Amino acid sequence: MGEKLIVSHAPHIAGKDSIQRIMLNVVIALLPALIAGCIVFGYRALIVTLICVASCVIFEALWQKLLNKPATISDFSAVVTGMLLAFNLPASIPLWIPVIGSFFAIIVVKQFFGGLGHNFMNPALGARAFLLASWALAMTTWPQPGTSIPLFYTADVVTAATPLVTDNPPSYLQLFLGNVGGCIGETSTLAILIGAAYLLFQGVIRLRVPVAFIATVALGAWIFGGENGFFTGDWLYQILSGGLMLGAFFMATDYSTTPFTPKGQIIFGIGCGIITILIRFWGGYPEGVSYSILLMNVATPLIDKLTAPRRYGTSKLKKEAA
């Protein structure tokens, strides 16, 4: 025979997806939320985002240069981390804080544990939790929509409460469009849904985690969130407020920190929803999305272990003996 058989290990069929393509799609999907943030909070939202992106890329490049590791900044993962970190910050944040947050996200959360795919929690959310614990006032000072924010932080910025901590709740339409106080990328549900629809169309994410997450928050808010007893809560207000939509579609779906089995993903989403409700209604902090995702990130290895399918050919007796 003139031809030789080529024997190789599985998988034998290669897909078109690559890290670069996936991350680029995420960047594209985040652009509507960035545009909405700039419309609501002005040019400073763009400045904060650019600082976060540039800092994340630079820190990753410097780390890999110092350790003689292959450069991976072209895969856009650092860009995604920078954008998500910026979206979790108020537009009035002092400009040196995003640089520190970017260092924590890239070096401490990501690179200390081996780089992309090895981090045990979402880098952007890990950095947000660190910044919130370190500079709580700056992280919880949200500018009034439409207010002109100086490039360099001053105490004269007109602030607004977020929908979760206000005595004058905004309308559903305001929440949907994003004309409310909050972080740069979390206010406009419309913009987030446009980006999420793009990711679903491209096959980058699946609906299991977001639907389980949002549905659990809606159910919990309806049961426990009412002032007139059980089953009277305004569930729609709760799912449109805060960072739920951004977290559910863009951070709870992170490949590295989310279970890989379908059953595990549903459990993950439900767990995020339960913790969010617990923190929102009975915790000392009005928003629980970030911490719920981080806590479930830590539980992901256990969820994977409990929901992993049985290997083909493994008998019941062998499994019980193990």
**DSSP states along 40-78:** HH-HHHHHHHHHHHHHHHHHHHHHHHHTTPPP-GGGSHH
What is the per-residue DSSP string for 193-252?
Answer: HHHHHHHHHHTS--SHHHHHHHHHHHHHHHHH--TTSTT---HHHHHHSTTHHHIIIIIT
The pLDDT value given to residue 8 = 52
Q: How far apart are CA 51 and CA 284, in angstroms?
A: 31
Cα–Cα nearest to 124, from 24, 256, 213:
256
The pLDDT value given to residue 302 = 96
Parse the chain into domains and list their residue ranges.
21-204, 206-307
The pLDDT value given to residue 309 = 84
Q: Can you read off the two tokens belonging to residue 280? A: 């929102």
Crossing angle of helices 77-87 and 96-103, in 10° steps, is 130
Q: How far apart are CA 204 and CA 17, in angstroms?
A: 9
Q: How far apart are CA 139 and CA 163, in angstroms?
A: 16
Dihedral (CA of 236, 170, 190, 24) sign: negative
Q: How far apart are CA 62 and CA 71, in angstroms?
A: 9
pLDDT digit string (tens) for the chain, length 322 residues: 455 555 555 554 555 678 999 999 999 999 999 999 999 999 999 999 999 999 999 999 999 999 999 888 999 999 999 999 999 999 999 999 999 999 999 999 999 999 888 899 999 999 999 999 999 999 988 888 877 676 775 555 566 677 887 778 899 999 999 999 899 999 999 999 999 999 999 999 999 999 999 999 999 999 999 888 899 999 999 999 999 999 999 999 999 999 999 999 999 999 999 999 999 999 988 889 999 999 999 999 999 999 988 766 555 555 555 5
